[in-house]
């Protein structure tokens, strides 16, 4: 090869190398340019996360550019361009919900270009959490925090992972509740479980809520209740850690996701005031407040009973009507509906139509928008516009944003028809609303009654409408009940029914109300007749039939309460009275009946309901009695003395006296006991306490004074005073015990076998043999327990009347004591097997831990064998 040829070859190779270098450099520059082009394309077409209706090709074109950029950069070995392309592509994929593909890009970045990059690790953890891989997400968060403990984003994300893990355990608890309980109880149980889990483990409310949860389970399903408790414990453990992670993230920065997580836990725990307070503080920090935090804050505010403030919060937020997701708008509209904020509801309802183009929610958006906007227009008296929108709503699929919405729509159409003065169309709309939801509104039933009256309908129709109105408007019963009675009486006249003839026919058939359909008015008239003739059970049966048709109908409840009190079924009467209070609010007459009811005859649940309904009286007294039973009550005493006794009256005085006695302050208790009225049902309790104080103080004058007052009382309570007599006997004060038992035996209100037996035994012990024999003889007519025969046997033996002993033994054998140890001991003694008899007596009267005290008869027998 010549020299010239070599020179040409060298020049060609150099030019080729230059061209390759230029081409490679251009390829790298083109990759970065493609990334910037994709970024510009997306940023110029609105939100990255949502499609651009004006340019639907923006996202696909941007992704094609990024795919090409990745290929070019990797082919050219340009790590910077490859990282930029992969990272932006991952961000777009994540924003559009393709988190699996985004996670692959983040992993590729970490493996090839940015090993250990904390920001990329956090983004990968976020994708893993969204994909449900909580274990991997938690591991990544722990890895970030190990490298940078103050990383706020990782701490907040760790809190989210732990919270989600707790939710899976909560779902397990919910499934178990659904399997074990009825639907209503399962719903109540889940609400309790969620709240318990969200509370701090040391919160004093947790044990009470756990008790309420366990009560929902039958005794036979106690194991299931325990299993639910274990699952709640797992939820609680994870949520405690989540709460700590959210709070820990605030040390570096206050992030919206951490704020949301903490408020969400407070919201679920029922700590609404704390949730609202924290949310309002975060609202003043722009970087910590986003639409998600706004949503949970508004929901907390609404749950706290402040829907108007919740609506105002949302209204004052930037882009309040444009920047909120569809589902939250729907919840916000329900808040506005409950708060009757019609104008604001109309605006938010109008904005729902913006979501109609979206296929997954478009139909709901149209239906809900028509409903809320139309309802708002009617409530704002823009009847024509509202009527048109609601007609369109009902004419379409009429999807309900909440149960009963369709009935509400028909009711609003009825309001519009009334404004248009079209009574037939109005009545048709009312009847459509009532057919869908009879319990929607009492006012709609009242309006129907008016239309029925104007149309001269049968009075029976008007009576039924007014009865439904009373059920739904109990606070207006005072004016509605007379109208209902008038309509009911008129209906009977129209039907030519005479309640006297109906009553006589029913009694011939041993029935209390007609089996065929009859009005509530007629059945309650018949119930009143039954009560007037002393047939309280029949009256209650008739009332129950009315309550089955009209739940918590006040006239029926009142008559049923009267019947139960007549039957002395205090527990059932209390249940009905509490239902009445819950339905119609506090009523002084009903509260008076409840306050006078023996507390021991109420169930625990009823006592708690009474305390809630009547906190200043029944609540204080129940709490005080609880403390007294445990030997304390000083704090309750301070409260009683602060409130005074104008409202608590004798109940308060007696409770204060019992607390003072517990505190060994007998002298201060006596004036309170003396103030209790002699006619009060509590007088026997007061006298018993006075006897106890006098006995402890060995005050003869006080003892005599108390006994004298007992003799003067027309009515005494044996449940209080018989134990007092036994206590005096146990203290060795036999004369005083005899005096008290004699009073009880001679009083018409306490006379009976128990009082007479106590008197006879004490007379025998005090060797008043004549009086004892007379008392035991009287006792034989009252009881066959064998106590009278045994007492007479003791007297015969003591009198050495041996010929009377065998027939007395025969009498004893014919009583319920024939096979008792006591009878056996007597036979041993009569057979002169005295050592065996004494051994049996000693076995019975010897004290032992956990052994009840021996009956007084054994003491008598021991004396006879001594």
**Which DSSP string corresponds to 156-223?**
HHHHHHHHHHHHHHHHHHHHHHHHHS-HHHHHHHHHHHHHHHHS-TT-THHHHHHHHHHHTS-GGGHH
Of the pLDDT bands very low, low, confident and very high (cuts 50, 70, 90), residue 22 is very low
Q: How far apart are CA 690 and CA 701, in angstroms?
A: 12
From CA 322, how far away is CA 171, in angstroms rounded?
33
At 24, the pLDDT band (50, 70, 90 cuts) reads very low
Long-range pairs, 530-539, Cβ under 8 A, ≥24? 531/559, 531/562, 531/563, 531/566, 536/563, 536/564, 536/566, 536/567, 537/563, 537/567, 538/512, 539/512, 539/563
Contacts of 640 (CB under 8 A, 6+ apart): 620, 624, 648, 652, 655, 656, 659
State the pLDDT at residue 14.
42
Residue 777 has pLDDT above 90, yes or no: no
Decide: residue 34, CB within 10 A, 0-12 exposed, 13-18 middle, 19+ buried: buried
**In the numeric block, which tokens belong to residue 10?**
């060298």
Give the residue with greater pLDDT, 275 vs 382.
382
Q: What is the pLDDT of residues 198-248, one digit of tens each?
A: 999 898 899 989 989 998 998 888 899 999 999 999 999 999 999 999 888
pLDDT score for 167: 92
What pLDDT, on a 0 to 100 scale, did the predictor assign at position 172?
Answer: 94
Give the rounded percent of residues in the chain with a pLDDT score beyond 70.
Answer: 92
Q: How far is CA 810 from CA 13, 229, 796, 807, 813, in A?
A: 142, 62, 14, 5, 5
Question: SS3 sequence, 238-249?
Answer: HHHHHHHHHHHH
Q: Following DSSP, what letter does each residue of 348-394 receive, concatenated?
A: HHHHHGGGTTSTTTHHHHHHHHHHHHHHHHHHTT-HHHHHHHHHHHH
**What pLDDT does 557 receive?**
93
For residue 401, give both structure tokens. Answer: 């944003």
**Residue closest to 155 by CA, chosen among 165, 140, 176, 175:** 140
Largest pairwise CA distance in the chain: 167
Helix or strand or coil: residue 603? Answer: coil
Q: What is the pTM of this model?
A: 0.63
Is the separation of the CB atoms in 336 and 373 below 8 Å?
no
Span 753-779, average pLDDT: 85
By C-alpha distance, which of 224, 235, 290, 230 is closest to 257? Answer: 290
DSSP 8-state symbol, 850: T
pLDDT in tens, 788-821: 887 887 787 777 777 777 787 777 777 776 667 7
812 is written with which tokens?
A: 């004893």
Is the per-residue pLDDT at 305 higher than 70? yes
Of 794, 861, 803, 806, the C-alpha closest to 834 is 861
CATH architecture of the domain covering 454-585: Alpha Horseshoe (1.25)
Q: How many CB atoms lie within 10 A of CB 343?
A: 11
One DSSP character per residue, 410-467 reads HHHHHHHHHHTT-HHHHHHHHHHHHHH-TTS-HHHHHHHHHHHHHTT--HHHHHHHHH
Q: For the segment 42-67, what is each residue's pLDDT rounded down to a tens digit? A: 877 555 555 555 456 777 888 888 88
pLDDT at 280 over 80: yes
pLDDT band at 164 (very low <50, low <70, confident <90, very high): very high
Digit-coded pLDDT (tens) for 108-128: 888 888 787 888 888 888 888
Asked whether the predicted pLDDT for residue 720 surpasses 80, the reply is: no
**CB of 318 within 8 A of CB of 389?**
no
Among 103-107, 548-552, 614-618, which stretch is predicted with the lowest mean pLDDT? 614-618
User: Tens digit of pLDDT for each residue in 459-499?
Assistant: 999 999 999 999 999 999 989 999 999 999 999 899 888 88
Picking from 274, 290, 294, the residue whose alpha carbon sits closest to that of residue 335 is: 294
Q: Is the Cβ–Cβ distance between 128 and 102 less than 8 Å? A: no
Q: In which residue are the tokens 């309900």 written?
A: 400
175 vs 737, higher pLDDT: 175
Cβ atoms of residues 206 and 199 within 8 Å: yes
d(CA 64, CA 61): 5
In tens, the pLDDT along 313-363 reads 776 655 444 567 788 889 889 988 988 889 989 998 998 998 888 888 889
471 three-state secondary structure: helix
Query: How far apart, in whole angstroms, are the C-alpha atoms of residue 331 and residue 181?
Result: 29
Q: Supply the pLDDT for residue 229.
A: 93
In angstroms, rounded to a whole number, what is the distance separating the alpha carbons of residues 550 and 521? Answer: 12
pLDDT at residue 6, rounded to an integer: 52
Q: What is the pLDDT of residue 20?
A: 40
Residue 440 to residue 429: CA distance in whole angstroms: 14
* Cα distance between residue 685 and residue 2, in whole Å: 138
Residue count of the chain, please give it: 866
């Amino acid at each position: 090869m010549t020299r010239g040829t070599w020179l040409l070859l060298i020049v060609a190779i150099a030019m080729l190398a230059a061209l390759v270098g230029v081409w490679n450099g251009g390829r790298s520059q083109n990759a970065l340019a493609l990334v910037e082009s994709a970024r510009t394309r997306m940023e110029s077409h609105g939100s990255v996360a949502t499609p651009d209706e004006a340019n639907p090709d923006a996202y696909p074109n941007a992704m094609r550019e990024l795919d090409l950029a990745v290929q070019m950069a990797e082919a050219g070995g340009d790590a910077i361009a490859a990282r930029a392309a992969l990272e932006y592509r991952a961000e777009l994929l994540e924003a559009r919900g393709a988190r699996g593909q985004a996670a692959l890009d983040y992993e590729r970045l970490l493996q090839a270009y940015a090993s250990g990059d904390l920001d990329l690790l956090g983004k990968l953890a976020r994708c893993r959490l969204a994909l449900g891989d909580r274990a991997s997400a938690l591991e990544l968060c722990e890895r970030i925090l190990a490298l940078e403990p103050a990383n706020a984003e990782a701490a907040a994300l760790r809190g989210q992972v732990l919270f989600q893990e707790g939710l899976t355990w909560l779902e397990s608890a919910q499934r178990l509740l659904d399997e074990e309980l009825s639907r209503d109880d399962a719903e109540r149980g889940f609400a309790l479980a969620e709240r318990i889990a969200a509370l701090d483990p040391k919160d004093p409310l947790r044990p009470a809520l756990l008790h309420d949860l366990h009560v929902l389970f039958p005794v036979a399903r106690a194991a299931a209740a325990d299993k639910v408790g274990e699952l709640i414990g797992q939820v609680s453990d994870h949520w405690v850690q989540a709460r700590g992670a959210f709070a820990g993230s605030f040390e570096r920065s206050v992030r919206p996701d951490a704020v949301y997580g903490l408020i969400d836990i407070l919201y679920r725990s029922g700590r609404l005031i704390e949730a609202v307070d924290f949310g309002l503080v975060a609202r003043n920090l722009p970087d910590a407040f986003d639409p998600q935090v706004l949503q949970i804050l508004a929901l907390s505010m609404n749950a706290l009973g402040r829907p108007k403030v919740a609506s105002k919060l949302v209204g004052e937020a930037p882009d309040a009507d444009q920047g909120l997701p569809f589902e939250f708008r729907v919840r916000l509209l329900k808040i506005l509906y409950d708060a009757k904020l019609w104008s604001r509801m109309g605006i938010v309802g109008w904005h729902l139509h913006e979501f109609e183009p979206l296929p997954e929610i478009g139909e709901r958006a149209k239906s809900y928008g028509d409903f809320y906007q139309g309802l708002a227009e009617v409530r704002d008296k823009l009847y024509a516009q509202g009527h048109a929108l609601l007609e369109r709503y009902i004419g379409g699929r009429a999807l309900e944003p909440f149960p009963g919405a369709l009935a509400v729509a028909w009711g609003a159409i009825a309001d519009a028809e009334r404004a248009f003065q079209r009574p037939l169309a109005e009545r048709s709309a009312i009847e459509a609303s009532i057919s869908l939801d009879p319990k929607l509104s009492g006012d709609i039933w009242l309006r129907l009654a008016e239309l029925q009256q104007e149309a001269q309908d049968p009075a029976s129709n008007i009576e039924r409408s007014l009865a439904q109105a009373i059920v739904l408007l109990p606070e207006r019963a005072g004016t509605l009940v007379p109208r209902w009675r008038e309509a009911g009486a008129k209906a009977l006249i129209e039907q030519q029914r005479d309640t006297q003839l109906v009553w006589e026919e029913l009694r011939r058939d041993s029935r209390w109300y007609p089996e065929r359909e009859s009005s509530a008015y007629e059945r309650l008239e018949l119930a009143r007749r039954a009560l007037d003739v002393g047939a309280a059970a029949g009256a209650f049966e008739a009332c129950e039939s009315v309550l089955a048709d009209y739940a918590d109908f006040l006239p029926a409840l009142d008559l049923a309460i009267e019947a139960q009190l007549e039957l002395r079924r205090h527990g059932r009467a209390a249940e009905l009275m509490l239902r009445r209070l819950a339905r119609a609010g506090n009523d002084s007459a009903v509260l008076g009946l409840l306050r006078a009811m023996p507390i021991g005859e109420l169930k625990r649940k009823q006592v708690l309901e009474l305390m809630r309904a009547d906190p200043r009286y029944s609540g204080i007294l129940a709490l005080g009695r609880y403390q007294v039973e445990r030997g304390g009550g000083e704090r309750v005493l301070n409260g009683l003395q602060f409130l005074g006794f104008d409202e608590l009256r004798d109940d308060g005085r007696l409770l204060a006296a019992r607390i003072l006695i517990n505190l060994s302050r007998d002298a201060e208790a006596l004036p309170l006991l003396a103030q209790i009225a002699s006619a009060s049902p509590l007088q026997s309790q007061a006298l018993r306490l006075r006897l106890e104080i006098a006995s402890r103080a060995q005050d003869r004058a006080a003892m005599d004074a108390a006994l004298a007052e007992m003799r003067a009382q027309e009515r005494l309570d044996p449940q209080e005073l018989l134990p007092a007599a036994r206590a005096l006997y146990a203290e060795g004060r036999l004369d005083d015990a005899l005096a008290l038992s004699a009073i009880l035996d001679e009083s018409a209100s306490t006379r009976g076998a128990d009082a007479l037996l106590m008197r006879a035994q004490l007379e025998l012990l005090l060797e008043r043999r004549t009086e004892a024999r007379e008392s035991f003889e009287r006792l034989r007519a009252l009881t066959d327990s064998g106590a009278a025969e045994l007492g007479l046997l003791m007297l015969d033996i003591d009198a050495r009347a041996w010929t009377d002993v065998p027939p007395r033994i025969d009498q004893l054998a014919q009583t319920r004591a024939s096979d008792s140890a006591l009878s056996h001991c007597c036979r041993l003694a009569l057979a002169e097997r005295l050592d065996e008899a004494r051994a049996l007596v000693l076995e019975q009267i010897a004290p032992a831990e956990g052994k009840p005290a021996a009956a007084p008869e054994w003491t008598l027998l021991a004396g006879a064998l001594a």
